[in-house]
Amino acid sequence: MKSNLIKSFLNLPFTQPSKNTSRIQSTESLFKRITVDVLDDDFWGSQVSIIGNSVIIVTILISTFDYILSSGTGGILVSNPFLEGFVIALFTTEYLMRILFAPSLGFAARTSYLISFYGIIDVLSLTPLLLDVLSLPMLGGLGALRILRLWRVARYIPSFNVISNAFNARKEDILTSLLGVTLLSLTLSALMFHYERAYAQCSFNNILEVFVWSIGKYTGDYGSIAEITPISDMGKIIATVNGFLGIALFAVPAGLLASAFIEQLEEKRRKQIIDERIGSISRHFEKKTGGGKDFKFTAFPRFASLDFLQVKFLLSEQEIMETIRESKNLRFRALKSKPENAFSDIRIVESFQTNCSYGFRQFNEESNLVLINAIGENERGISHLAYTLAAGLNVNYIAREVLILNLNQAPVGGNTSKDYERYLQGETQTLNPALSEFLSDIESFDSQTYFIILSSAASGRSDYVVEYGNDPGSTEFVQDKTSLNREKDLTELMQILEKNLHNVEYRGANKVRLEYDFTLEQNTIGNRNSNSLHHLVRQKTGGNVVSLYTNIKILTGENNQYYAACTALSSIFEDIQAATSAS
């Protein structure tokens, strides 16, 4: 058991900031990467995170029990000044680091942490320690704030969120019931006060005393605040009714919270079951079986039919669909078994990669080639094709893989969108933050970069369509239209395409050697509109920009042709990168 834990620890990366943090590049200082890794919400995702958070947890527990056991004149222990100094230094540094690196930790602003539950707990638990250091007087019960440091452990216990989630789920019901019972109890307290005031022996000085008395009387009177006895008959009757309301003041919210807590536990169990299904299906897609032994890169399975997954994992169709809805890396697609079919008749599941708000990104500072996939969320096959090539070639890769909505709650387009036009005009404040991040990552490259936007073409077109900014039908280099910097770049591009799309050899799983000739069209779609991604990339970076469309029949077709197409594309990208580096 111990060896398995050690092995699991050693298999973790040294540092790995969570997916919810903003972009932390390899060029960032080691100190910043380590700090963000320790303080983000993925506590057990790396060796650094486990060590750093273990130190914090142990310090919290030791310092809390030191405070408890050394409290008062009859304390079991004598407080250790060195321990107190270490605690102050550690927690103060952690607090300052959370504020300093708030943008990298995913906070919308530093104030988001300062006014959060854990932010308030952190500063309150530090207050008595700092007062001691500064030799300032400890007023009232400020010293007791030390015990709040124990609440910091809740940050490391995911199950603790069940309580807060339960309250949030019934917050309005609880607050409504509290308000209703309180108002009614106050009303009865006012009536009782006036009936009691008719007698000289009345001990109530005001309505608030009656209200507090009625609550204390019927909830155990642990604070000895309900020693008075009503005098009038009507006062006794009202006191009885008000007493029941006093009980209800605690019982009704407690009942609502208890039912919500049970619902949260049931929901947590449901999610655990779904997470197990997601894990099982995801592991199927992690097998390096795509493309067979003769494909030049590591490739994962392209997709799996719904029927196959049902049989393999003994799940119902409803369970499979529920799993896909809850997963962040699985999606449902429909395919045609034959191109000539009028309707899709095959249901499949695709897996895709995510590591940022808009989908997936991969950076390689030594490569001047950037592959862009803007339609992964809504088109079949393109995500597997683009990721396989980007990972195999180790080039820069930016992929939109998740649904992004605009201000009107409508999906933002892939290759064309009014939001692209707004971004060009500087109206970034109106854009979805995930879309802004996607476009900002693209804009971070300079004019020496070669961009290839990967997309899909309709089945009626050629196997490939290449677009480089010209008007439809125009194939020559046109100044201020062609999205390549020089006529030489266009000549080289066409030579590379011609060389690598013909006589493409591929050996399939059955060991039969196959040869393909892929057809090509130039500028038959058109992408010079101001709302096109192609136009945006060219305007923002000044680099070479080419859109390359792969026919949907290839993207969804049989494996041999698909992986032959991948082989051809990889050779094209390698030649483009080599030509760009040489120039």
Contact partners, residue 253, CB within 8 Å, separation at least 6: 174, 177, 178
Q: Do 461 and 550 touch, CB atoms closer than 8 A?
A: no
Residue 407 lies inside a defined structural domain of this protein = yes
Comparing 140-154, 256-270, 449-463, which segment has the lowest mean pLDDT? Answer: 140-154
Lowest mean pLDDT among 213-217, 330-334, 398-402, 411-415: 213-217
Q: Which of 41-45, 137-141, 434-438 has the weakest average pLDDT?
A: 137-141
Comparing 1-5, 226-230, 320-324, the range with the smallest average pLDDT is 1-5
The count of domains in the chain is 3
Give the pLDDT mean for 455-483.
Answer: 91
- The residues near 153 (Cβ < 8 Å, ≥ 6 apart) are 57, 60, 61
pLDDT value at 347 more than 70: yes
**Over residues 185-212, mean pLDDT:** 80
> Do 128 and 9 fall into the same domain?
yes
Binning pLDDT at 50, 70 and 90, where does residue 75 land?
A: very low
Per-residue model confidence (pLDDT) at position 143 = 61
Query: In the structure, what pLDDT confidence band is assigned to residue 73 with cuts at 50, 70 and 90?
Result: low
In a domain, 443, yes or no: yes
Residue 560 lies in a domain: yes
> Are both 8 and 87 inside the same structural domain?
yes
Maximal C-alpha separation, the chain: 111
Q: What percent of the chain has pLDDT over 90?
A: 35
Q: Which of 205, 235, 268 is the last residue of a domain?
A: 268
132 and 240 fall within a common domain? no
Q: With respect to residue 30, please indicate whether it lies within any of the assigned structural domains.
A: yes
Is residue 384 very low, low, confident or very high in pLDDT (cuts 50, 70, 90)?
Answer: very high
Last residue of a domain, one of 211, 237, 268: 268
Pair (96, 179) in one structural domain? no
DSSP per residue, 244-293: HHHHHHHHHHHHHHHHHHHHHHHHHHHHHHHHHHHHHHHHHHTSS-BT-T
Whether 350 and 387 have beta carbons less than 8 Å apart is answered as no
Identify the pLDDT of residue 24: 55
How far is it, in rounded angstroms, from Cα 538 to Cα 275? 42
Higher-pLDDT residue of 372 and 225 is 372
Regarding whether 568 and 456 lie in a shared domain, the answer is: yes
What is the domain-level CATH number for residue 197? 1.10.287.70
The percentage of the chain sitting over the pLDDT mark of 70, rounded to a whole number, equals: 86
Which pLDDT value is given to residue 281? Answer: 93
Q: In this predicted model, what pLDDT tens digit does every residue of 150-184 receive, in sequence order? A: 777 777 776 667 777 777 777 888 788 778 877 88
Give domain status of residue 341, yes or no: no
Instruction: Give the burial string for 224-262 (b: 16+ CB within 10 Å, else e).
Output: eebebebbbeebeebbeebbebbebbeebbeebbeebbe
Residue 290 inside a domain? The answer is no
Same domain, 247 and 375: no
138 pLDDT higher than 60: no
User: Do 222 and 129 fall into the same domain?
Assistant: no
Chain-wide mean pLDDT for the chain?
83
State the DSSP code for 75. Answer: -
- 555 and 424 share one domain: yes
Q: Which of 106-110, 284-288, 489-493 has the highest mean pLDDT?
A: 489-493
Note the pLDDT of residue 571: 94
Q: Tell me the C-alpha distance between 575 and 579, whole Å.
A: 6
Same domain, 376 and 407: yes
CA 518/CA 504 separation, integer angstroms:
8
Contacts of 427 (CB under 8 A, 6+ apart): none
Torsion angle of C-alpha atoms 452, 458, 464, 466, degrees rounded to 10: -50
Do 175 and 226 belong together in one domain? yes
Query: What is the residue-wise DSSP string for 351-382?
Result: E----SSSEEEE--TT--EEEEES-TTTSSSH
Considering 121, 156, 191, which residue would you say is the last residue of a domain? 156
Structure tokens at 268: 């947590």
What pLDDT is stored for residue 225 in this prediction?
59
Q: What is the CATH number of the domain that holds 543?
A: 3.40.630
> Do 416 and 423 contact (CB within 8 A), yes or no?
no
pLDDT on residue 465: 95
Q: How confident is the model at residue 142, as a pLDDT?
A: 59
Give the pLDDT mean for 19-36: 65
Which residues are bridge partners to 400 per DSSP?
Answer: 359
Sequence-separated (6 or more) residues with CB below 8 Å from residue 184:
245
- Assess if residue 191 is contained within a domain: yes
Q: Compute the distance between CA of residue 353 and CA of residue 399 in angstroms, rounded to an integer.
A: 9
Lowest mean pLDDT among 145-149, 387-391, 476-480: 145-149
Reduced to 3 states (helix: H, G, I; strand: E, B; else coil), residue 549 is strand
Say if residue 435 is in the same domain as residue 573.
yes
Of the segments 333-337, 498-502, 504-508, which one has the largest average pLDDT value?
A: 498-502
Structural domain for 499, as ranges: 353-582
- For 583, the 3-state DSSP assignment is coil
CA 269 to chain CA centroid, nearest Å: 21
117 shares a domain with 179:
no
Residue type, 131: L
Determine, yes or no, domain membership for 278. Answer: no
Q: What confidence tens digit (pLDDT) does each residue in 557-578 have?
A: 888 899 999 999 999 999 999 9
Yes or no: say if 384 and 464 are a contact pair by the CB < 8 Å rule.
no
- pLDDT bin (cut points 50, 70, 90) of residue 79 is low
Looking at residues 418-444, what average pLDDT do you find? 90
Average pLDDT over residues 525-538: 87
Question: What is residue 410's predicted lDDT score, i.e. its pLDDT?
Answer: 85
